Structure 1
């Protein structure tokens, strides 16, 4: 891409699988980007993320862009499962990997003391998925370091603090299934207060708020101006959701997709949520509650499709034979149950398994579309649907979903960096008056004989116990 003379925000997008540095102009368009696999992993004292290594990568990327682009603001967007205990000098313990397996005694303690679903509207995931459970592990097993900590900063706010901001909390990160936030009350959870963790959470700042300016030494390192603004930052899927709010599309159901597929529907009441079926609340950048589903469909798609997924046209062509012979991928191929309790790591095929790359791609797209449609059913979605993130480029998925949701228009975002673009739009959000424009591609329903019948069969089989598990 060519350089741009417009002032831009540089976004660090920290996903579970990939890292991105994306430059976003005031209209919400990407002017440049780089990316890499997220392999900043540590083994001690528990599986952890080298967040400072990620910041170094970000700074190096900024240095590469500084001479060609006018970068005026920095903002981070990140998944909701990370946070860092810090004192004045920096981290006192590494940022825990949310897929770390917790010690059995911590699992038992948290099972007894953890907050009820009816308060936090989030199930308790395996291992260290919840921030409150991470804090419990650290407090119990690393008491000296824990006592030294002055703040617990969720990922985006830790990066902001390191770049030159002040310690802050942000509601979309706190409200992202971490068990640290009570969405109805708009306060820290009772568990956090009961355990004495409240002292670690700084005051709330808005996602688009300027917390400071880039540190002078890092301004010199990158070539950026010393008055480059550092924004508070935002939860990744809520950055995506904010983008549609900024476009005047709050009434749409949004599927934000990556490693995780998160369905957002503002019209779904909290009382409809079912913790046993991966239904959760999110809290958007304005503190508004949004009912959601949370499934690891992106990772499962990769497990089914293989390392080199077939092109869309080949996958679409293979779907007809796959449906005709009764092949259905059943949940769940990943470690999490998703909508189907007890299904984690028990993914299987009804009928003959895929025999070639095209069939594997077809099966993966079919599985993802059926899962997405089940999520939309769980939310009671009747609104137009927008697919953003990784699956927005998957034509087979989009056409299958459109066929499974008659009466609900399905559109695919044409912006490959939706999460980062939403984060970039936080810069200037308080002065913006006109809605932003988002390019969307309507998805044409796939005409596929037997699909509706296959969907009914899939729903029935997916809800049944795995026969192999029953006979084990």
Structure 2
């Protein structure tokens, strides 16, 4: 790996749940040069709702070609949202990449719950639909046993793209340990015992996120008009990359890193102890450097979109302190319910008030409740859409007794990648 100072152009593929960005950055100056975007699609099936992998692939190749036309590319790294994996053999996918919002895995919840490891080993709470990778894989084994039997590897979402670019199959610890049920936090290997029948040796060995996985395959370079020899790095979980500038060597003072988007995640840096399980959204994972990090996650962005789109005028108003978010299992949509009765309600909005502002205050309160549950303390470093949401940040300032620092998404992402390679070179 070349030092950051000599890499003038670097490409970051940031695959979010809703949108994907291709960012051309100058790591020497820490500047974003150009960003291309596309909206992700979920295809309805058959055989089940799945991600539009080929449209993503075309976007990645077009972006690389456009960026390479202007300057030499010194490296490529893929970061991606969680709870997603690909089953592959030598020729490619053996099954479509399941959308984690698909509720199909819940059909086998009772049987799967008898197999999954305890929270104390994996830091993983039981989550609905496909939000536990183990539940996805268990369901796929049951419904498509012959297809799964063909698979040579199960690749986490960033590493699927790394493999497709280079031909090298690896796993990475920040993704492997993120609410999947599939990795043991203590042993740093795939969960054994009854889960061995689910994982079946499909996950390849670990490699650091910064490590050089290889170079873009010569046949791809030729087919897409790219220069040969472009380096490709292992890649990482998107939320975990956000920790790097704050959790590198010698940086373990208490603080909170809060990337936001479809998901809001609060990482308690400097705590390094397993939180008590039981509260929805509370979990623990390992960061890119292998540190234990308690964290709290909820789909704040999706909940906001769902609730603002809902026509709820006929519902009874409920005081905010008695409202709670609830996700409907049949369709994944969020509703507000009265915590005392479980009945659907709406927030009271005074004349002249904005429903969005009241909802943002409720979401901020939920974030604080989660941070308290994981023992978080200190300054909040927030990135993503909620960092530009004044009603949300004002409410957070009211509820949280420490300062809040806000950064734009693309600017902070370039900083994160730069920090990753800086820390790797120590």
Report the TM-score range of the alignment, normalised by the length of the smaller protein: 0.7 to 0.9
Match of 1:283 in 2: 286
Answering whether residue 304 of structure 2 is matched by residue 301 of structure 1, we say yes
* CA distance 1:40–1:193, change in 2 (3 Å): closer
More displaced, 415-424 or 20-29? 415-424
Report the counterpart of residue 387 of structure 1 in structure 2: 382
Separation in structure 2 between the aligned mates of residue 299 and residue 244 of structure 1, nearest angstrom: 27
* 2:5 aligned with 1:10: no
Quick check: 1:409 aligned with 2:410?
no
| Range moving further from structure 2, 138-147 or 260-269 | 260-269
Query: How far apart, CA to CA, are the structure 1 residues paired with 2:413 and 2:323?
Result: 29
Q: 1:430, CA displacement in angstroms?
A: 2.3
Residue among 349, 354, 371 paired with 2:366: 371
8 A Cα contact 1:402 1:409, kept in partner? yes
- Contact 1:165/1:230 (<8 A) preserved: no
Matches of 1:403 and 1:186 in 2, distance apart?
39
- Determine helix, strand or coil for the equivalent of 2:391: helix
Q: Secondary structure at the match of 2:75?
A: strand
Alignment of 1:35-114 (within 5 A): 35-102=37-104, 105-114=107-116
The change in CA–CA distance for 1:355 and 1:274 in structure 2 (over 3 A counts) is: farther
User: Displacement of 1:392 after TM fit?
Assistant: 1.5
1:254 Cα shift?
Answer: 0.9
DSSP 3-state at the match of 2:72: strand
CA shift, 1:329, in A, is 8.2
Q: Cα gap change, 1:214/1:398 in structure 2, threshold over 3 Å: closer, same or farther?
A: same
- On the 8 A contact 2:338/2:345 being kept in 1, the answer is no
**C-alpha deviation, 1:383, in angstroms:** 1.2
Find the counterpart in structure 2 of residue 450 from structure 1: none
Structure 2 equivalent of residue 26 of structure 1 = 27
Change in Cα spacing, 1:48 to 1:81, as seen in structure 2 (3 Å) is same
In structure 1, the residue matched to 2:346 is: 349
What SS does structure 2 have at the residue aligned with 1:85? strand
CA deviations 1:360-380 (Å, max 9, x no partner) are 221132122211221222122
Q: Secondary structure at the match of 1:160?
A: helix
Aligned residues: 406
Q: Distance in 1 between the 2:183 and 2:265 partners?
A: 19
Q: Is 1:332–2:319 an aligned residue pair?
A: no
8 Å contact kept, 2:384–2:408: no
Q: Using the TM superposition, give the Cα deviation of residue 236 of structure 1 relative to its aligned residue in structure 2, in angstroms.
A: 0.9
Is contact 2:26–2:32 with CA below 8 Å preserved after alignment? yes
- Structure 1 residue 429 displacement after superposition: 4.4
Deviation at 1:420, TM superposition (A): 6.2
Deviations 1:311-334 (A, max 9, x none): xxxxxxxxxxxxxx9666822054
- In the alignment, is residue 179 of structure 1 matched against residue 181 of structure 2? yes
Determine the C-alpha separation between the residues in 2 that align with 1:43 and 1:393.
Answer: 36
Question: CA offsets, 1:249-284, max 9 Å, x none?
Answer: 543211111111111013335443323332101211
Cα displacement string for residues 269-308 of structure 1 (whole angstroms, at most 9, x for unaligned residues):
544332333210121111111000111112122234459x
Alpha-carbon separation, structure 1, partners of 2:211 and 2:339: 42
Are residues 104 and 297 of structure 1, via their aligned partners in 2, closer, same or farther at CA, if it must alter by over 3 Å?
closer
State the alpha-carbon separation in 1 of the partners of residues 418 and 104 from structure 2. Answer: 35
Once superposed, what is the RMSD of the aligned Cα atoms? Answer: 3.0
Output the TM-score relative to the length of structure 2. Answer: 0.86
2:314 corresponds to which residue? none
User: In structure 1, what is the Cα distance between the partners aligned to 2:392 and 2:249?
Assistant: 24
Match of residue 313 from structure 2: none
Offset of 1:22 from its aligned partner? 1.2
Decide whether the 8 Å contact of 1:172 with 1:287 is kept in 2: yes
**Unmatched segments (≥5 aa) in structure 2:** 1-5, 311-317
